[in-house]
Chain A
Amino acid sequence: MFDDVSDIIIQIRNLSKIYGDGVEIKALDAIDLDIKRGEFIAIVGPSGSGKSTLLHQIGILDTPTSGTILLKGIDITKMSDKQRSKMRNEELGFIFQYHHLLPDFNALENVMMPLLIKGTKRSKAKKMAFELLKEVGLEDRINHRTHQLSGGQNQRVAIARALVNKPSIVIGDEPTGNLDTKKSDSIYELLRRLNKEYNQTFILVTHDERMAAKTDRIIRIVDGKIAEDSKNRKDF
């Protein structure tokens, strides 16, 4: 039923998330899912289907009601806050629809931040952040703050920030949802190139079927369940 265990980076079993304040809402309903290292995945589905909830569970931003998530073989549902923070810092990169850059810091400092949190020396962090900003084409914008950058540029900074710690998994919640088609394509190309270069796993939640069609695998969520998992799109 499942793939070769050695390649699997994320293993989800019987994962449920129930929101309840009087009326219970089952956002995720007994999900089983394996994700391999280096996969470029799109999670699609109608609004409120549970795709973002699944992403937040994988990103250790939320806790499930039941079930397990093994990330590199470690059950993240049983971790302490300190361990979860460390895992988020070292193994995960986040890209959101709105860049969520820190407005009090410039582009370079925003990208340096995950490294500083990890404990990397400032000079080394600066160098690494600059290299990555160069890679996303923003080497001449390093001292700009978010309000001085365009939407696309901010999203590139956010991508550089998500990748700077060389995480095994990059998760994106509508990473191009706020951009026009041209910028959206450019961001997709960038993510794809980085995915190939560093063999990182990309999991993107998107409404954009056109973009989803370009990924290796589409997971369609409907009513908190996996309705479709087209694994072989890579062959197309």
Chain B
Amino acid sequence: MYELFIAVRHLTSRRRQTIFSVLAVGLAVMMLMWSQAMMVGFTDEMYSKTVDSTMPHVTVEPQEDEDYIHLYRNLIRNINEIDGVVSISPILTGTATFEYKGKNKNVVMQGIRVEDHDSVMYINDNIIDGNFRDLEISPNSVVVGDALAEKLDVEIGDTIDASFPEANPTNLKVVGIYDSRTPMDETLAFTSLSTVQDFLGVSDVVTTILVRGDDRERAQAISGKIDALGYPASSWKETNPEIIQTLKMESTSNTITLGLIIIIASFGIVSTLFMVVMEKTKEIGMLMAMGVSRRSILIIFVMESGILGLLGALIGVMLGAMFAIYMGSYNYGFEVMAGISTIPFVVRIQDAVIIVLFTFLLNLIAGIYPASRASKLKPVEAIGRD
């Protein structure tokens, strides 16, 4: 493999040019790696603050033309058998007007099985006053959001009047206040399933079943299997397409910008190679006189471009990863999105591998043009050129 021998010697002989070319690619790759680590961290944080904590992976609705899921206990048993399902929460949702000392507010009242619901929605983590579990113990109790509590001016132990046309009015004792840092804190109240069933005057039915899987990426598969059971189910990707779109948009614009920087750095290599081809015209002619074929001349110069790209990519990826690991996270000092203000850097091996391969291939391709110019030189003209 004398081509590699010549290519490496060319690069080591013009050390300064080589170092600058590698640095140009390296810096661009470092930025890409660093930014990718931030993007992955942002994505993880976004999922953890939304999909993993405030929304179910799959939502099951009543069958067509039905208002309720009647045989929900059977359905839960069947869903439980689906591979990857971790927890299930049946809920009955109704609208109610809450009134306390002359202040009133229309709210969405969700009747839940406390333990089941907590295992899907982790509401207990957001409780800031009182006890979520008391919903199960105290009959006619309610947990409200902090914003709703403020509107109605209620505290733990106060009793709210709940009413609505065609519903059975009832009194609900406030046993807990939660703060999810979302708009639902003002509109959503939790009570036991039986309380809402009594309030609405319905039998043992639910309006929705929420499901959590062991991995958010399996949600689609789980919802497909529930669909097959005859109940319309939607994964979080279908119910919240804006999350995917936002992340995709962020990620795409990020990749395009940084990809362009790498392409610009690669152009630097192309121009360096052109200079080398001009500089080494006589040598190329002499190599041809010694029996090097046009194909091998092409290989030599493409190799040079590839080696520069590979070195730049490896150095850039290492520096980018080290920089990201050293920083650990970046604190914006304000809420960027969905309660996210600090973004952790997540360095993934697969990102490093993809970036290195992309940069290497890009440089191989970029090197083809100057290399083909070199290979098309006529030996007699190349040797004779001054």
A117 and B292 within 8 A (CB): yes
Q: How far is the CA of A135 from the CA of B131 in the complex (A)?
A: 98
B383 and A88 within 8 A (CB): no
In the complex, per-residue mask of A80-91: 1 if CB is within 8 Å of any chain B CB, else 0 = 011001111110
Q: How far is the CA of A85 from the CA of B297 in the complex (A)?
A: 11
B295 and A82 within 8 A (CB): yes
Q: Which residue of B lies closest to A90 (CB)?
A: B291
Q: How far is the CA of A61 from the CA of B287 in the complex (A)?
A: 11
Residues A86 and B383 in contact in the complex (CB < 8 Å), given A104-B10, A104-B13: no
A231 within 8 A of B: no
B291 and A61 within 8 A (CB): no
A100 and B291 within 8 A (CB): no
B9 and A104 within 8 A (CB): yes
Residues A61 and B379 in contact in the complex (CB < 8 Å), given A104-B13, A113-B2: yes
Q: Which residue of A lies closest to B282 (CB)?
A: A100
B378 within 8 A of A: yes
Residues A62 and B286 in contact in the complex (CB < 8 Å), given A85-B291, A88-B291, A104-B13: no
Q: How far is the CA of A94 from the CA of B292 in the complex (A)?
A: 14
Q: Which of B282, B290, B293 has the most CB of A within 10 A?
A: B290
Q: How far is the CA of A103 from the CA of B289 in the complex (A)?
A: 16
Tell me the smallest distance from the CB of A2 to a CB of chain B, in Å. 27
B37 within 8 A of A: no
**Within 8 Å CB of A161, what residues of B?**
290
Q: Which residue of A lies closest to B386 (CB)?
A: A98
A88 and B289 within 8 A (CB): yes
**Within 8 Å CB of A85, what residues of B?**
288, 291-294, 296
Residues A114 and B291 in contact in the complex (CB < 8 Å), given A61-B379, A100-B383: yes
* Beta-carbon contacts under 8 Å, B364-386 to A: 378-380, 383
In the complex, per-residue mask of A109-123: 1 if CB is within 8 Å of any chain B CB, else 0 = 000011011100000
Q: How many residue-residue contacts, CB under 8 A, span A and B? A: 66
**Within 8 Å CB of B5, what residues of A?**
116
B291 and A89 within 8 A (CB): yes
In-complex Cβ contact of B291 among A86, A96, A102 (8 A): A86
Q: How far is the CA of A51 from the CA of B338 in the complex (A)?
A: 82
Majority SS of interface residues in chain B? helix
* Beta-carbon contacts under 8 Å, B267-294 to A: 282-283, 285-294
Residues A59 and B291 in contact in the complex (CB < 8 Å), given A100-B282, A100-B383, A105-B9: no
B383 and A61 within 8 A (CB): yes
Q: How far is the CA of A113 from the CA of B291 in the complex (A)?
A: 10
In-complex Cβ contact of B380 among A56, A89, A104 (8 A): A56
* Beta-carbon contacts under 8 Å, A40-66 to B: 56, 59, 61-62
A62 and B290 within 8 A (CB): no
Q: How far is the CA of A62 from the CA of B288 in the complex (A)?
A: 11
Q: Which residue of B lies closest to A158 (CB)?
A: B286
In-complex Cβ contact of B290 among A88, A103, A104 (8 A): A88
Q: How far is the CA of A103 from the CA of B288 in the complex (A)?
A: 16
Tell me the smallest distance from the CB of B281 to a CB of chain A, in Å. 11
A89 and B290 within 8 A (CB): yes
Q: How far is the CA of A81 from the CA of B292 in the complex (A)?
A: 10
Tell me the smallest distance from the CB of A57 to a CB of chain B, in Å. 9
Q: How far is the CA of A87 from the CA of B379 in the complex (A)?
A: 14
B293 and A82 within 8 A (CB): yes
**Within 8 Å CB of B286, what residues of A?**
94, 100, 102
Q: Which residue of B lies closest to A117 (CB)?
A: B291
Q: Which of A82, A94, A100, A118 has the most CB of B within 10 A?
A: A100
B290 and A117 within 8 A (CB): yes
Tell me the smallest distance from the CB of A93 to a CB of chain B, in Å. 9
**Within 8 Å CB of B292, what residues of A?**
85, 89, 117
Residues A62 and B291 in contact in the complex (CB < 8 Å), given A100-B286, A113-B2: no
Tell me the smallest distance from the CB of B6 to a CB of chain A, in Å. 8
Q: How far is the CA of A87 from the CA of B9 in the complex (A)?
A: 26
Q: How far is the CA of A114 from the CA of B10 in the complex (A)?
A: 17
Q: How far is the CA of A117 from the CA of B288 in the complex (A)?
A: 10
Q: How far is the CA of A140 from the CA of B379 in the complex (A)?
A: 32
A116 and B289 within 8 A (CB): no
**Within 8 Å CB of A113, what residues of B?**
2, 287, 290
A62 and B380 within 8 A (CB): yes
A114 and B290 within 8 A (CB): yes
Q: Which residue of B lies closest to A114 (CB)?
A: B290
Q: How far is the CA of A61 from the CA of B289 in the complex (A)?
A: 7
**Within 8 Å CB of B2, what residues of A?**
113, 116-117
Q: Which residue of A lies closest to B381 (CB)?
A: A62
Q: How far is the CA of A103 from the CA of B9 in the complex (A)?
A: 10
A62 and B13 within 8 A (CB): no
In-complex Cβ contact of B289 among A90, A94, A104, A105 (8 A): A94
Tell me the smallest distance from the CB of A167 to a CB of chain B, in Å. 10
Q: How far is the CA of A118 from the CA of B293 in the complex (A)?
A: 11
**Within 8 Å CB of B283, what residues of A?**
100, 102-103
* Known A62-B378, A104-B13; 7 more pairs at CB < 8 Å: A61-B289, A62-B379, A62-B380, A113-B287, A116-B2, A117-B290, A117-B292
Where the two chains meet, the residues of A that have a C-beta atom closer than 8 Å to any C-beta of B are 56, 59, 61-62, 81-82, 85-90, 92, 94, 96, 100, 102-105, 113-114, 116-118, 161
Can you report 14 A-B residue pairs in the complex whose CB atoms are below 8 A from each other? Answer: A81-B293, A85-B288, A85-B294, A86-B291, A89-B292, A94-B286, A94-B289, A100-B383, A102-B286, A114-B291, A117-B287, A117-B290, A118-B291, A161-B290
What 8 A-B pairs come out closest when comparing CB atoms? A89-B291, A104-B13, A85-B293, A116-B2, A61-B380, A62-B380, A100-B286, A61-B379
